[in-house]
Amino acid sequence: MKRRLVLQGLLAAMPAAAAFSALLAAPKQARAIGGTLPDLDQPAPDFALAGFVPPGTEGELRLSDFQGRWLALYFYPKDFTGGCTLEARGFQQDLAQFHQLGAEVVGISADSAESHASFCGSEGLAFPLLSDPGGLVSRRYGSWISPYSQRHSFLIDPDGVLRERWVAVRPSGHSQEILASLQSLVAAAPSLPSPSPSISR
Residue 71 CA to residue 158 CA, distance in Å, equals 8
Question: Which pLDDT does position 17 carry in this prediction?
Answer: 42
Per the DSSP assignment, residues forming a β-bridge with 137 are none
Low-confidence residues of the chain: pLDDT under 70: 1-32, 190-201
pLDDT at 25: 39
Candidates 49, 34, 109, 52; CA nearest to 79 is 109
What does the pLDDT read at residue 96? 98
Q: Please pick, among 84, 137, 162, 179, the residue that the annotation labels catalytic.
A: 84
Residue 22, amino acid: A
Query: To the nearest 5 percent, what fractions of the chain are helix, strand and coil?
Result: 40, 25, 40
Q: What is the pTM of this model?
A: 0.81
Asked if 84 is an active-site residue, the reply is yes
